[in-house]
Structure 1
């Protein structure tokens, strides 16, 4: 990946915050993988937010709400920073 693109991606990630702690999601280890396709004009962000087996139903619901918030914030930040790309966050 071109260094300028990498820098812009890193700067954008620094702005995406986890809703409860307000810490950047990269600092919390919530970014698993980033794939950029110049040819397809897409940026795929895979998050490392899972649901441990055997977790209580209330905890699962809370984790689901947090994940939706992180996905929304990441999508909004990257769509603003890269309007020419299709942004996918999963």
Structure 2
């Protein structure tokens, strides 16, 4: 139930959430990378519910390209399966 409320809140400020992801990644700290990945997973869930997964995929692809030289971040993205098609 708390997750549902969180996703509804997030859906109302997706652009702000993407900016927070950029800020977290910009900190270049492991804990911030982890938090960014969690937020991206939630953004993907919001996009999937709204049938706008293509928009998420576009933004995520650009984000990934911008940070290709950060191997630990790329590893977190891959581990989280952010580039993979969602299941369920």
User: Which protein has the larger Cα radius of gyration, Structure 1 or Structure 2?
Assistant: 1
Structure 1 or 2: more strand by fraction: 1
Structure 1 or 2: more helix by fraction: 2
Regarding TM over 0.5, the answer is no
Given the two structures, how large is their TM-score scaled by the length of structure 2? Answer: 0.38
